[in-house]
Amino acid sequence: MPITQQKLLQTLPAPADESAFFVWRKVMSRISELLAGGRNVLAYLDMLAWAEGTSTSRATAIDGYDVIVTGIDGKPEVFNDFTDHPFAKGRASKVINSKGLRSNASGRYQQMLKDWPYYKAFLKLPDFSPISQDLLAIQHIRESRALPDVVAGRIETAISKCRNIWASLPAAGYGQREHLLDDLLKQYRQAGGVLS
């Protein structure tokens, strides 16, 4: 049975009342602090989602976990079947700029299909659910040798090490919008991260 957006939303904790909604939304990563490796890792994940524009997308229903890269038409798009990467069944990649660049980046951290089969097997991920997306993003951070920096609060160093993975980070060089370091650090702190 497919994991759908509806089923995921039913498993999320609801705020006690309307006024608690914004407090509830501050903790966006679905992975536990223990499994992630600490509060700083959760804050870094939230910063990445903000930078990639997924957690703030007007189309998302679950903090960016359901977001597909925006095409050249500028229309936001989401998916609601989390059994696999949204492009895994042969869907064509989207044209994202006037030069014809194509992308199939999907989910909260804009994971590319080319990486998905390897990491799905390597990490033994059962699906493309929020927890699986969090685990994959943490693996990318680990492979960039930035995880110890994130845990220790050396976020400027971690951002520099991860810029080849996420196009929204400063000096990534992908020709896409790159955020200023100060804005990223602000988002990280707002998400509860501590700088060293």
- Choosing from 33, 52, 77, 178, which is the catalytic residue? 52
Give just the sign of the alpha carbon dihedral 73, 128, 63, 165.
negative
Give yes or no: 52 in active site: yes
Residue 147 burial by CB count (10 A; 0-12/13-18/19+): exposed, middle or buried?
buried
Amino acid at 169: L
CA-CA distance, 46 to 74, in Å (whole number)? 23
Number of DSSP helices (H) and strands (E) in the chain, helices first: 9, 4
Which residues form the catalytic set? 52
